[in-house]
């Protein structure tokens, strides 16, 4: 086996990248097929404007020499070139392990690798940046990752051509060191940092202490992990985006510096404004101390990691409004935020999430928006048009008033598991933005809150950072189906046409946060108007059921494919979840008609659906609660941390935030998941409890006892969050047989 890699000082190896991605099936599955590739990094002279890649046939002088030469500006472009070649010449497919993993059965053996055109293939980036992550992805998806998992993610990033990514891990240990210079001891930070599953919102100043405190071993572990992460990113030619100071300070600052300008923020989603978690403290950017802290924080990061970037993220005004809408004051504040960065790094560029312009549009009118954007010299700020796939701000802000921006797809909220997307917007949105007159677009990005879902969306989106023209989706999906399953299949091709025009064609302008009744149960009595509101449904369920039928028909030839099994389970889950919403509404309707017999029948059907979906999910390794919980416990160094981490993991995906006896968190079920174990042990008891009260109140001709049900359910939820029972981490059952049985049970008349 002879690989040849040439990456100069970057020392990055696509060989090792592929080793890591093929571990589940053994390296021989791919390495034996593509051992005759030559990789070269050519930093200068290869590209016309930005970075690029080139794939050429290698002129062989002997049968042992390489067959294909892949060159690129950095190792990222080389890795993307390899991925492009594997996809479009060899029919291979690479997705996250939890969405089916890698399919390389179609890659030819050595000596018969497909040739490219004689002149070769050259792909230039039409914009310089391919961006990745949301500030909350670190909690919804990355909270329990070790270096092994991070290593594979960085590989995946390289294969997708990502060259600009947030790198937020370990910053709490940096803050410890910075705050020491201001006479703040580690014990003063116990009620400042949130727990591991809630750090994103602690960092943004939305909450403090919830899920904490953090042990020193955790802080040290995360800092060591961050050093590995940024080192690997740099080796591959990526630019890490490090955090900058947003003004969030511990409460003790008020005592140590009584004369500084500190504002106590309002309650953010906690029950009754509980001071133990809510109402954090924001140091005003206009205060001289702000620049001093901001400078030290950036310099401390440079000391720890080296001078690895000039791009820093800061979202001071993300879901926290300035004290006034006066444009002059907003301009002053923005300038102060940037000055703090520039004092730490004279070449600093401020990367800002543009979520505030969507989420708080009533405040950020043109004068206010322009004041903030122009508070920094043009070229020293990059705005992430975070929600451009649904609400493109570049269209309503004159291209962000001349400020460079990245066209981003947000797509996922809360790390929910829901088949959803807008493939046409992905194909056309970045192109339309880039070619518009006076465009200031400098990149394409993915800003999902949670990853490892909807693989088709995350296959297409990164390509748009390299494409200069719109994609013809139906043609692309035909190729995608072949690559994903390793063979052509007419039934699957037809199924994907249906999914394209239904599930992946959400054009109603409503962003998708999964509100299916099973995973986001209504906290209302059965007579409340709120109980007749249907979860978001933007497509014909009948058509999707037909697509599922086609999936099942293809099962005999595809059942051994991990990618097929994942898609089959996900699509069956989707169809059953939408059916459960209908059954729930029928259940409420029966109650309102005082029909005990019909109510009993609908209750039985609803609860049985939950159990059946759990059984379906249990048949695939990628839909298991146990995996999430065990990954949390694995990072613990002692029993105390293990208990705390498991509580964090359980709480984030259920109640999320605090609760009282009859008043639950406003964010309950925000991070809901369709995971086996979670349905049977959490969602099913909740639904059962509600249904029992529902039926009993109708039989007794009494008003539904909402408060009593809440007491019963919330007490159960709190006990579940504190539980330690284990759940399977390995699949049980045959996905195809289970899906066929459920289809016959629920969809065949």
In degrees, rounded to 5, the angle at the alpha carbon of residue 216 between the alpha carbons of residues 213 and 217 is: 115
In the structure, what pLDDT confidence band is assigned to residue 5 with cuts at 50, 70 and 90?
A: very low
Q: Which of 301-305, 354-358, 445-449, 727-731 is least confident? A: 354-358
Residue 518 in domain: no
The helix (H) or strand (E) run that includes residue 335 is: helix 327-344
pLDDT tens column, 685-734: 999 999 999 999 999 999 999 999 999 999 999 999 999 999 999 999 99
Q: Are residues 63 and 85 in the same domain?
A: yes
What sign does the dihedral 697-698-699-703 (CA atoms) show? positive
pLDDT attached to residue 221: 98
Q: State how far the alpha carbon of 426 is from the alpha carbons of 423, 429, 444, 507, in Å.
A: 5, 6, 10, 12
Q: Are residues 677 and 587 in the same domain?
A: yes
- Determine contact, residues 416/535, Cβ cutoff 8 Å: no
* Residue 449 in tokens: 């809150």
pLDDT tens column, 112-169: 899 999 999 999 999 999 999 999 999 999 999 999 999 999 999 999 999 999 999 9
User: Using DSSP, how many helices (H) and how many strands (E) does the chain show?
Assistant: 28, 18
pLDDT tens column, 555-598: 999 999 999 999 999 999 999 999 999 999 999 999 999 999 99
Residue 516 in domain: no
Q: Are residues 166 and 23 in the same domain?
A: no
Cα separation, 657 vs 648, in Å, equals: 10
In the structure, what pLDDT confidence band is assigned to residue 220 with cuts at 50, 70 and 90?
A: very high
Per DSSP, helices labelled H in 390-449 are 398-401, 423-435
* 530 pLDDT higher than 80: no
Residue 355 in domain: yes
Domain boundary among 446, 467, 488: 467
pLDDT attached to residue 533: 73
- Determine contact, residues 371/423, Cβ cutoff 8 Å: no
In the structure, what pLDDT confidence band is assigned to residue 73 with cuts at 50, 70 and 90?
A: very high
pLDDT tens column, 171-210: 999 999 999 999 999 999 999 999 999 999 999 999 999 9
Domain boundary among 55, 90, 124: 124
Map residue 612 onto helix, strand or coil: helix
- Determine contact, residues 134/409, Cβ cutoff 8 Å: no
Q: Are residues 547 and 684 in the same domain?
A: no
Q: Are residues 621 and 647 in the same domain?
A: yes
φ and ψ at residue 188, rounded to 5 degrees: -75, -10
What's the longest Cα–Cα distance across the chain?
A: 89
Q: Are residues 120 and 142 in the same domain?
A: no
* 215 pLDDT higher than 60: yes
- Determine contact, residues 53/41, Cβ cutoff 8 Å: no
Residue 523 in domain: no
Per DSSP, helices labelled H in 243-306 are 253-256, 288-305
* 10 pLDDT higher than 70: no
- Determine contact, residues 73/8, Cβ cutoff 8 Å: no
Residue 490 burial (CB count, 10 A): 11
* 28 pLDDT higher than 80: no
Q: Are residues 401 and 299 in the same domain?
A: yes
Q: What is the mean pLDDT of residues 257-264?
A: 94
Cα–Cα nearest to 417, from 617, 166, 633: 617
Q: Are residues 287 and 178 in the same domain?
A: yes
Q: Are residues 457 and 493 in the same domain?
A: no
* 15 pLDDT higher than 60: no
pLDDT attached to residue 469: 97
| Chain mean pLDDT for the chain | 93
What sign does the dihedral 244-250-256-258 (CA atoms) show? positive
What percentage of the chain carries pLDDT values higher than 90? 89
Map residue 531 onto helix, strand or coil: helix
Inter-axis angle of helices 327-344 and 366-373, nearest 10: 20
Domain extent for 45: 2-124
In the structure, what pLDDT confidence band is assigned to residue 17 with cuts at 50, 70 and 90?
A: low
Q: What is the Cα 196 distance to its own chain's centre?
A: 16
Residue 581 in domain: yes
What sign does the dihedral 334-338-339-341 (CA atoms) show? positive
pLDDT attached to residue 64: 72
CATH number at residue 181: 3.20.20.80
Cis peptide upstream of residue 213 (ω within 30 degrees of 0): yes
Residue 45 in domain: yes
Instruction: Produce one character per residue of 556-592: b if its CB has 16 or more CB atoms within 10 Å, e if not.
Output: eebeebbbbbbbbbbbbbbbbbbbbbebbbbbbebbe
Residue 28 in domain: yes
Q: What is the mean pLDDT of residues 372-395?
A: 97
Map residue 429 onto helix, strand or coil: helix
* 31 pLDDT higher than 90: no
Cα–Cα nearest to 727, from 630, 631, 620: 630
Q: Are residues 456 and 547 in the same domain?
A: no
Q: What is the Cα 287 distance to its own chain's centre?
A: 35
* Residue 634 in tokens: 């694995």
Q: Are residues 149 and 109 in the same domain?
A: no
Q: Are residues 99 and 149 in the same domain?
A: no
pLDDT tens column, 538-556: 999 999 999 999 999 999 9
* 481 pLDDT higher than 60: yes
Cα separation, 227 vs 222, in Å, equals: 9
Cα–Cα nearest to 369, from 360, 445, 378: 360
pTM across the whole model: 0.95
Domain boundary among 77, 109, 124: 124
Please, which residues have CB within 8 angstroms of residue 483's CB and are 6 or more apart in sequence?
87, 91, 92, 93, 103, 106
* 22 pLDDT higher than 60: no
CATH number at residue 50: 3.30.379.10
What percentage of the chain carries pLDDT values higher than 70? 95
Please, which residues have CB within 8 angstroms of residue 592's CB and are 6 or more apart in sequence?
526, 527
Per DSSP, helices labelled H in 669-734 are 678, 684-699, 706-721
Q: How many domains does the chain have?
A: 4
Residue 525 in domain: no
Cα–Cα nearest to 39, from 56, 60, 62: 56
* Residue 69 in tokens: 């030469």
pLDDT attached to residue 748: 95
């Amino acid at each position: 086996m002879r690989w040849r890699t040439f990456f100069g000082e970057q020392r990055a190896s696509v060989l090792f990248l592929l080793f890591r991605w093929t571990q589940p099936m053994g390296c021989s599955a791919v390495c034996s097929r593509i051992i005759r590739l030559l990789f070269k990094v050519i930093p200068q002279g290869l590209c016309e404007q930005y970075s690029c890649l080139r794939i050429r046939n290698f002129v062989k002088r002997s049968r042992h020499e390489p067959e294909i030469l892949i060159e690129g500006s950095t190792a990222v472009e080389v890795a993307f070139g390899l991925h492009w070649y594997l996809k479009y010449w060899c029919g291979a497919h690479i997705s996250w392990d939890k969405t089916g993993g890698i399919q390389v059965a179609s890659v030819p053996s050595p000596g018969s690798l497909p040739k490219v055109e004689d002149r070769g293939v050259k792909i230039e980036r039409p914009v310089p940046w391919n961006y990745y992550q949301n500030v909350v992805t670190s909690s919804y998806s990355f909270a329990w990752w070790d270096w092994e998992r991070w290593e594979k993610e960085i590989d995946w990033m390289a294969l997708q051509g990502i060259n600009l990514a947030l790198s937020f891990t370990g910053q709490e240990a940096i803050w410890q060191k910075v705050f020491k210079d201001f006479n703040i001891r580690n014990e003063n930070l116990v009620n400042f940092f949130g727990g591991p599953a809630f750090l994103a919102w602690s960092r943004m100043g939305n909450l403090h202490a919830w899920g904490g405190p953090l042990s020193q071993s955790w802080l040290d572990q995360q800092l060591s992990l961050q050093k590995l992460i940024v080192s690997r990113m740099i080796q591959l030619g990526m630019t890490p985006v490090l955090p900058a100071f947003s003004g969030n300070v511990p409460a003790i600052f008020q005592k140590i510096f009584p004369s500084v300008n500190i504002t106590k923020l309002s309650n953010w989603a906690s029950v009754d404004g509980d001071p133990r978690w809510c109402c954090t403290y924001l140091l005003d950017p206009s205060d001289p101390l702000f620049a001093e802290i901001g400078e030290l924080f950036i310099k401390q990061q440079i000391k720890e990691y080296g001078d690895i970037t000039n791009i820093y993220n800061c979202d001071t005004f993300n879901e926290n409004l300035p004290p006034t809408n006066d444009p002059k004051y907003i301009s002053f504040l923005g300038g102060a935020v940037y000055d703090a960065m520039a004092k730490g790094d004279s070449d600093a560029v401020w990367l800002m999430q543009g979520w505030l312009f969507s989420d708080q549009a009533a405040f950020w009118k043109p004068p206010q928006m322009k004041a903030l954007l122009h508070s920094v010299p043009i070229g020293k700020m990059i705005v992430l048009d975070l929600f451009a796939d649904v609400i493109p701000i570049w269209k309503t802000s004159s291209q962000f008033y001349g400020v460079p921006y990245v066209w981003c797809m947000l797509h996922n909220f809360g790390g929910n598991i829901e088949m959803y997307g807008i493939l046409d917007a992905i194909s056309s949105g970045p192109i339309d933005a880039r070619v518009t007159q006076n465009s200031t677009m400098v990149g394409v990005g993915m800003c999902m809150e949670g990853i490892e879902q909807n693989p088709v969306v995350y296959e297409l989106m990164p390509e748009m950072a390299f494409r200069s023209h719109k994609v013809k989706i139906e043609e692309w999906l035909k190729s995608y189906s072949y690559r994903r399953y390793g063979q052509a299949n007419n039934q699957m091709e037809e199924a994907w046409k249906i999914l394209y025009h239904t599930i992946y064609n959400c054009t109603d302008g409503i962003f998708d946060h999964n509100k299916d009744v099973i995973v986001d149960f209504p906290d209302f009595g059965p007579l409340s108007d709120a109980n007749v509101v249907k979860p978001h449904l933007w497509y014909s369920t009948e058509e999707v059921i037909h697509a599922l039928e086609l999936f099942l028909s293809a099962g005999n030839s595809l059942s051994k494919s991990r990618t097929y099994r994942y898609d089959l389970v996900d699509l069956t889950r989707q169809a059953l979840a939408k059916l459960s919403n209908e059954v729930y509404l029928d259940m409420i309707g029966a109650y309102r008609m005082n029909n005990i017999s019909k109510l009993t029948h609908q209750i039985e059907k609803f609860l049985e659906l939950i159990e059946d979906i759990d059984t379906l999910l249990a048949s695939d390794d990628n839909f298991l609660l146990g995996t999430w919980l065990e990954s949390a416990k694995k990072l613990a160094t002692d029993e105390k941390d293990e208990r705390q981490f498991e509580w964090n993991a359980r709480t984030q995906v259920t109640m999320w935030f605090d609760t009282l006896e009859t008043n639950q968190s406003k964010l309950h079920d925000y991070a809901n998941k369709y995971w086996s174990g979670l349905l049977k042990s959490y969602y099913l008891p909740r639904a059962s409890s509600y249904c029992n009260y529902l039926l009993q109140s109708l039989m007794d001709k009494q008003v539904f006892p909402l408060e009593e049900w809440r007491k019963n359910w919330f007490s159960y939820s709190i006990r579940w969050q504190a539980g330690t029972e284990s759940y399977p981490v390995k699949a049980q059952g045959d996905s195809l047989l289970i899906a066929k049985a459920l289809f016959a049970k629920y969809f065949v008349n």
